[in-house]
């Protein structure tokens, strides 16, 4: 590394404030902590998710406890647009779905329960919500 590069790196890591960890300087967890926490819960058989777009993505798994689904809307460039999400669960005729929102602006618990629904009604009335750019939703389906 050049002397200028070494000086730049020393200043970057030793003098500049760093905001890229799981915890801030006061020991509070950051939104990235909850993102990794949710991803760690995705254990089981991976399921196919139909209907994603270039900006709206999802991962789903099925295990003995039910099903977990994480969805996110991260535009590749620009501001992006809100995406209207309609969920159907044809394999689940009974059970409950719980939708959790990752709220990065909350100072304490950044996982907020947004809604609950009964799956028996999802055939006639799909579960709907708006997923805004740079938002993450976590869904848990329990029998």
Evaluate whether residue 108 is within a structural domain. yes
The residue range of the domain holding 55 is 44-142
Structure tokens at 48: 């196919």
Evaluate whether residue 2 is within a structural domain. no
Evaluate whether residue 30 is within a structural domain. no
pLDDT of amino acid 68 = 92
pLDDT of amino acid 4 = 94
**CB-CB neighbours of 136 under 10 Å:** 21
**Global pTM value:** 0.73
pLDDT of amino acid 53 = 82
The pLDDT tens digits for 54-68 are: 888 999 999 998 899
The pLDDT tens digits for 95-134 are: 888 998 888 777 777 788 888 888 877 667 788 899 988 8
Evaluate whether residue 63 is within a structural domain. yes
Q: How many structural domains is the chain composed of?
A: 1
Evaluate whether residue 25 is within a structural domain. no
- For 68-134, where are the alpha helices, taking DSSP H only? none
d(CA 22, CA 35): 10
Give the H or E element holding residue 139: strand 135-142
Output the domain CATH number for residue 72: 2.60.40.1180
Evaluate whether residue 5 is within a structural domain. no
Evaluate whether residue 59 is within a structural domain. yes
Give the H or E element holding residue 35: helix 31-40
């Amino acid at each position: 590394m050049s002397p200028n590069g070494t000086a730049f790196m020393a200043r970057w890591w030793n003098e500049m404030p760093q905001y890229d960890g799981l915890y801030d300087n006061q020991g509070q967890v950051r939104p990235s902590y909850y993102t990794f926490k949710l991803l760690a819960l995705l254990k089981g058989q991976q399921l196919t998710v139909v209907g994603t777009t270039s900006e709206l993505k999802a991962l789903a798994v099925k295990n003995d406890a039910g099903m977990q689904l994480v969805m996110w809307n991260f535009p590749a460039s620009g501001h992006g647009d809100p995406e209207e999400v309609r969920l159907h669960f044809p394999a689940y005729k009974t059970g409950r779905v719980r939708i959790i929102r990752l709220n990065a602006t909350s100072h304490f618990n950044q996982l907020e329960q947004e809604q609950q629904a009964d799956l028996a009604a999802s055939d006639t009335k799909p579960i709907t919500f708006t997923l805004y750019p740079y938002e993450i939703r976590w869904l848990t389906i329990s029998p």
